[in-house]
């Protein structure tokens, strides 16, 4: 599946000069991060760790570890942007925070903000509580095409189904058929496939993060390695083509670009920071929309930074990514951009992945059929039937008239001869 996996992997990244403190050229920052550690979303039937005996807060919820991870990420952002943001005093005009409506993302945003804005001076409202309430905006998942990515998009579903039915994917899946059968037998899942494999891999990943003992079958030689391999393949399928990326990563990229364009037209833009708390799928979709992605799926609190700078009277876009919290962010240059990448260049090279009218683009496209009767729609068939019926009726009427006229003429001739 080399062609499929390699289609959007951009390995030509550079380790940028990490900012020790915000430079005077900085004008705007957009931050997107994945939520912190959580409990599994699903648990396979034969797992020794079920919700009732292992995950007291329920499935899919942010854990205490996840809260701590996000708090530390907030502290990292506080150190990085201290001086650009007034991190010693929360100013609601300087930052706008949005989150997916999933509870783990909302909780991650609140935990992050606790690390970014610990209350000081006049904002210290309770001396025993180093926390202050900061608003986080969200919208219902069923209408969210930007962060939660749950708003229905039939065209994306159509493209995904076509990809799954492609020869390359079918062959890839067949090559793992015996492994899938082994997983089905040991998990109690009726049918495993590349599309659904994430649920098993995710459950085991969550258990590993909490040092839980797996079922014995996972410890067999090469099983865990194969699970990770399949997890990467399955994740890659979600945003495998430019059209799929446009529909999933495009809406957020479109907003980020619009905010940068607006900021480039004023000396002191407000807000200064747009913060988005979301999912691994959101992070991957945005990275691919910006022509940047390294294959490992985004880890908990994976961070995307998009900075707008003004350097020598030119507005420049800098993109940084941190998937491993133990390292500094890497700076990436989008494919097709110069170094540094100007705002206009960035807009140009990503234009193919920014939707115009998302609602219209999400409508299912009907492929034209072969020429001939098969290409007629139901309405066309009806019109054709009516036309044929009228023609038959007209022919019948004309025939009757001709016969009657002939009979009348023959009768007159016979009478004259008597």
Domain assignment present for residue 330? The answer is yes
Q: How many domains does the chain have?
A: 2
Under the banding of pLDDT at 50, 70 and 90, the label for residue 369 is low
Q: What is the pTM of this model?
A: 0.84
Of 47, 144, 202, 280, which one is the catalytic site residue?
Answer: 280
Under the banding of pLDDT at 50, 70 and 90, the label for residue 180 is very high
Q: Tens digit of pLDDT for each residue in 27-83?
A: 999 999 999 999 999 999 999 999 999 999 999 999 999 999 999 999 999 999 999
Under the banding of pLDDT at 50, 70 and 90, the label for residue 297 is confident
Same domain for 170 and 131: yes
Domain assignment present for residue 416? The answer is no
Same domain for 344 and 380: no
Same domain for 387 and 354: no
Tokens of 247: 């529909």
Domain assignment present for residue 25? The answer is yes
Domain assignment present for residue 145? The answer is yes
Same domain for 393 and 347: no
The answer to whether 206 and 39 have CB atoms below 8 angstroms apart is: yes
Same domain for 107 and 49: yes
Domain assignment present for residue 306? The answer is yes
Q: For 56-211, list the strands marked E by DSSP.
A: 95-99
Q: Which of 1, 11, 98, 7 is nearest to 330 (CA)?
A: 11
Domain assignment present for residue 278? The answer is yes
Same domain for 247 and 377: no
Q: Tens digit of pLDDT for each residue in 82-98?
A: 999 999 999 999 999 99
Write down the pLDDT at residue 195. Answer: 84
Q: Tens digit of pLDDT for each residue in 375-398?
A: 445 554 455 454 545 555 554 544
* CATH code for the domain in which residue 59 is found: 3.40.50.1240
Domain assignment present for residue 417? The answer is no
Give percent of the chain above pLDDT 90.
74
Same domain for 400 and 313: no
Average pLDDT over residues 276-300: 91
Under the banding of pLDDT at 50, 70 and 90, the label for residue 292 is confident
What is the extent of the structural domain holding 258? Answer: 2-207+236-361
Identify the H or E element spanning 250. Answer: helix 250-263
Tokens of 246: 């446009």
Q: Is 35 a catalytic residue?
A: yes
CA distance 388 to 357: 41
Same domain for 79 and 59: yes
Question: Does the pLDDT of residue 9 top 60, yes or no?
Answer: no
Q: Tens digit of pLDDT for each residue in 116-163?
A: 999 998 999 999 999 999 999 999 999 999 999 999 999 999 999 999
The answer to whether 59 and 41 have CB atoms below 8 angstroms apart is: yes
CA distance 211 to 277: 26
Same domain for 352 and 296: yes
Q: For 35-119, list the strands marked E by DSSP.
A: 95-99
Q: Is 47 a catalytic residue?
A: no
Same domain for 109 and 50: yes
Which of 339, 361, 383 is the endpoint of a domain? 361
CA distance 234 to 228: 10
**Over the chain, what is the mean pLDDT?**
86
Domain assignment present for residue 50? The answer is yes
Question: Does the pLDDT of residue 268 top 60, yes or no?
Answer: yes
């Amino acid at each position: 599946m080399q062609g499929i996996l390699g289609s959007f992997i951009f390995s030509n990244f550079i380790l940028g000069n990490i900012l020790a403190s915000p430079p005077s050229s900085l004008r705007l920052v957009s931050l997107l991060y994945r939520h912190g550690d959580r409990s599994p979303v699903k648990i396979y039937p034969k797992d020794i760790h079920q919700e009732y005996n292992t995950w007291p807060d329920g499935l899919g919820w942010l854990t205490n570890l996840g809260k701590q991870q996000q708090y530390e990420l907030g502290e990292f952002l506080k150190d990085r942007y201290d001086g650009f943001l007034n991190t010693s005093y929360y100013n609601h005009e300087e930052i706008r925070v949005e989150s997916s409506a999933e509870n783990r993302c909302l909780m991650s945003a609140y935990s992050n903000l606790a690390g970014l804005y610990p209350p000081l001076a006049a904002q210290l409202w309770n001396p025993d509580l180093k926390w202050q309430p900061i608003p986080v905006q969200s919208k219902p998942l069923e209408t969210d095409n930007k962060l939660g990515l749950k708003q229905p998009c039939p065209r994306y579903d159509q493209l995904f189904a076509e990809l799954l039915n492609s020869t390359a994917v079918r062959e890839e899946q067949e090559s793992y058929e015996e492994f899938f059968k082994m997983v089905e037998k040991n998990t109690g899942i009726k049918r495993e496939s590349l599309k659904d494999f994430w649920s098993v891999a995710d459950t085991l990943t969550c258990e590993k993060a909490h040092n839980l003992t797996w079922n014995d079958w996972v410890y067999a030689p090469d099983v865990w390695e194969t699970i990770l391999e399949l997890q990467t393949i399955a994740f890659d399928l979600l945003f495998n083509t430019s059209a799929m990326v446009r529909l999933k990563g495009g809406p957020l990229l479109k907003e980020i670009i619009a905010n940068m364009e607006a900021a480039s037209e004023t000396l002191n833009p407000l807000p200064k920071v747009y913060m988005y708390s979301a999912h691994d799928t959101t992070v991957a979709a945005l990275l691919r929309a910006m022509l940047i992605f390294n294959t490992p799926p985004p880890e908990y609190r994976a961070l995307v930074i998009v900075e707008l700078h003004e350097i020598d009277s030119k507005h420049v876009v800098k993109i940084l990514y941190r998937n491993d919290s133990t390292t500094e962010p890497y700076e990436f240059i989008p494919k097709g951009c110069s170094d540094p990448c100007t705002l206009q260049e960035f807009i140009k090279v990503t234009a193919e992945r920014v939707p115009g009218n998302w609602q219209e683009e999400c409508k299912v496209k009907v492929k034209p059929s072969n020429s001939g009767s098969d290409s007629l729609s139901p309405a066309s068939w009806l019109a054709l039937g009516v036309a044929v019926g009228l023609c038959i009726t007209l022919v019948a009427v004309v025939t009757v008239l001709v016969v009657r006229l002939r009979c009348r003429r023959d009768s007159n001739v016979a009478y004259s001869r008597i």
